[in-house]
């Protein structure tokens, strides 16, 4: 029935006198990625612009029309900043097939971004603006970040984007600045993905240009040819991209589908502003703002280097690597999880060991009693004896600050003795304690700690002063 309705609508539109001789058309350029010196197909599509049909999602393809492809921008000294050519260079010509597509083979030699424009032939009976397309030429194993557009960079869903004017679509706060920083300071390559239908190619590219988002290839969805499941579409798309760019190891999105698609492809998933109601994967790295993304990605890269030291370093280097990684927090699991499937058995072993230690550490924190000041002091002694800085820091009012300076006054700790307790107020207690060494060649240390009662009824230590 659906097909019959579409055919009837198509027949009525094309036989309507109002459309007779109407040669308005549009050209859409399809972005792609490749490696330096590797040939890739440059593709564009020519469709009729017929308002009544286009509103129904029907886009009549133009067959047998020759398109010309011109190189208009190429990599400059900085390969990820394009330089506009004074005169466009003809790359080649191709005729559209029955689906309206024209394509030709092109081999970019240098790393960077290339912008090619598909244009109508001279003397064409159709009228259409040129359709630009971007080729991302990246070295095979260089790090690449895949970034979702819908409700991640923009404030509009993939469905709403097709019925919303560009002027009414806003960019998320901090997105432009964060992506620019990833490229300029961390030398990251960016590839965009979206669940928008490919009918939105021109309008979305125009919106991204107007918002001054960094240039990069964009991959769109064709509703009529692909899976209707967004998660399946993104999973398959990412798999395809990673065949060309195995260095695409990181993804940024906003939704459970994004997280699952990235993680299932062995990538680290950074998820922004995800709904608390979603059943979100535990291995995703979460944040509430774009402004945190550059810092998170930098921490991810540091952790990856530390994992190599943990795998191949000396005993001392391995201990130092673990101590540094142990301060990362909940993001640690997301940073190392993808290495569990590494083809290097030792790296896989190290990633599994780190994840196991981290989960055990979280379980250890859960058994620490902070219901009273004295029980919290006993928990502090327990954490000191265990010796993990991150576990100790969780007993402080500001764990993120304390983690860098919360080691016990001596090491290893054998126990503590309470010398004096001062109840400063109903919500603050100061203890003077003697810290006992576990080794006979060490001397006891007298120490003071201050505990405060929080609004949730638990006790915590103030920021350490030793």
* 18-48 pLDDT tens trace: 343 458 999 999 999 999 999 999 999 999 9
Ordered structural domains, the chain, with CATH: 22-137 (2.60.40.10), 293-366 (1.25.10), 373-461 (3.10.450.50)
Averaged pLDDT for residues 368-394: 93
Residue 336 in contact with residue 343, Cβ under 8 Å? no
Give the Cα separation of 335 and 423 in Å (integer). Answer: 43
Q: What is the pLDDT of residue 20?
A: 39
pLDDT of residue 14: 43
**How many other C-beta atoms can be found within 10 angstroms of the C-beta atom of residue 134?**
22
pLDDT at 180: 95
Tell me what pLDDT residue 12 has. Answer: 41
Distance CA 230, CA 404 (A): 42
Residue 56 pLDDT grade (very low, low, confident, very high; cuts 50, 70, 90): low
Please, which pLDDT band fits residue 7 given cuts at 50, 70 and 90? Answer: very low
Instruction: Look at residue 171 and give its three-state secondary structure.
Output: strand
Element housing 52 (H / E): helix 51-55
Q: Residue 404: its pLDDT value, please?
A: 77
Q: What's the CA gap between 154 and 169, in Å, rounded?
A: 7
Q: Predicted confidence band at 53 (pLDDT cuts at 50, 70, 90)?
A: low
- What does the pLDDT read at residue 271? 95
- Give residue-wise pLDDT tens across range 142-173: 999 999 999 999 999 988 998 899 999 999 99
| pLDDT value, residue 224 | 60
Task: Reduce the DSSP state of residue 296 to 3 states and report it.
Answer: helix
Q: Give CA–CA dist 53/57, Å, rounded.
A: 7
Pick the residue with more confidence: 14 or 270? 270
Strands 428-437 and 413-425: antiparallel
CA dihedral of 127, 128, 130, 133, whole degrees rounded to 10 = -140
Give the other-Cβ count within 10 Å of 374's Cβ: 15
Q: What is the mean pLDDT of the chain?
A: 89
Q: Is the distance from CB of 67 to CB of 46 less than 8 angstroms?
A: yes
Beta strands at 445-453 and 459-461: parallel, antiparallel or unpaired? antiparallel
Q: In this model, does residue 464 exceed pLDDT 50?
A: yes
pLDDT tens column, 331-348: 899 999 999 999 999 999
Is residue 327 very low, low, confident or very high in pLDDT (cuts 50, 70, 90)? Answer: confident
Burial group, residue 352, by CB count within 10 angstroms (0-12, 13-18, 19+): middle
- pLDDT score at 457: 96
Condensed to tens digits (0 to 9), the pLDDT of residues 398-448 reads: 987 887 788 888 889 999 999 999 998 889 999 999 999 999 899 999 999
pLDDT (0 to 100) of residue 226: 54
């Amino acid at each position: 029935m659906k097909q019959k309705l579409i055919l009837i609508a198509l027949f009525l539109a094309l036989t309507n006198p109002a459309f007779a001789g109407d040669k308005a058309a549009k050209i859409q350029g399809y972005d792609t990625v490749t490696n330096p010196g590797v040939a890739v197909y440059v593709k564009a599509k020519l469709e009729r612009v017929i308002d009544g049909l286009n509103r129904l999602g029907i886009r009549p393809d133009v067959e047998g029309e020759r398109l010309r492809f011109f190189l208009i921008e190429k990599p400059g000294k900085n390969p990820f900043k394009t330089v506009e050519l004074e005169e466009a260079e003809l790359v080649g010509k191709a005729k559209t097939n029955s689906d309206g597509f024209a394509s030709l083979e092109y081999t970019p030699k240098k790393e960077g971004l290339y912008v090619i424009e598909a244009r109508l032939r001279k003397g064409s009976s159709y009228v259409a603006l040129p359709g630009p397309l971007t080729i991302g030429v990246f070295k095979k194993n260089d790090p690449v970040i895949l970034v979702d557009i819908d409700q991640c960079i923009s404030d509009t869903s993939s469905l709403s984007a097709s019925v919303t004017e560009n002027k009414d679509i806003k960019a998320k706060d901090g997105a432009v600045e964060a992506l620019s920083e990833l490229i300029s300071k961390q030398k990251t390559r960016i590839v965009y993905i979206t669940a928008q239908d490919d009918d939105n190619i021109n309008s979305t590219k125009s919106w991204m240009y107007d918002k001054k988002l960094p240039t990069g290839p964009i991959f769109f969805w064709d509703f009529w040819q692909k899976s209707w499941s967004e998660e399946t579409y993104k999973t398959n798309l990412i798999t395809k991209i990673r065949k060309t760019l195995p260095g695409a190891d990181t993804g940024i999105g906003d939704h459970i589908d994004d997280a699952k698609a990235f993680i299932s492809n062995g990538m680290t998933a950074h998820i922004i502003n995800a709904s608390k109601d979603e059943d979100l994967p535990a291995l995703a790295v979460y944040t509430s703002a774009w402004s945190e993304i550059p810092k998170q990605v930098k921490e991810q890269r540091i952790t990856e280097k530390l994992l190599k030291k943990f795998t191949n370093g000396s005993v001392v280097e391995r201990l130092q690597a673990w101590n540094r990684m142990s301060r990362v927090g909940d993001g640690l699991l997301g940073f190392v999880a993808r290495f569990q499937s590494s083809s290097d058995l030792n790296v896989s072993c190290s990633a599994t060991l780190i994840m196991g230690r981290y989960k055990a550490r979280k379980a250890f924190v859960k058994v620490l009693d902070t219901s009273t000041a004295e029980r919290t002091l006993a928990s502090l002694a327990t954490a000191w004896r265990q010796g993990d800085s991150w576990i100790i820091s969780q007993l402080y009012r500001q764990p993120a600050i304390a983690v860098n300076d919360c080691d016990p006054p001596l090491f290893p700790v054998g126990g503590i003795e309470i010398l004096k307790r001062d109840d400063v107020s109903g919500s603050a207690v100061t203890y003077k304690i003697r810290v006992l060494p576990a080794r006979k060649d060490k001397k006891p240390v007298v120490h003071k700690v201050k505990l405060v009662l929080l609004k949730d009824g638990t006790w915590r230590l103030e920021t350490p002063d030793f």
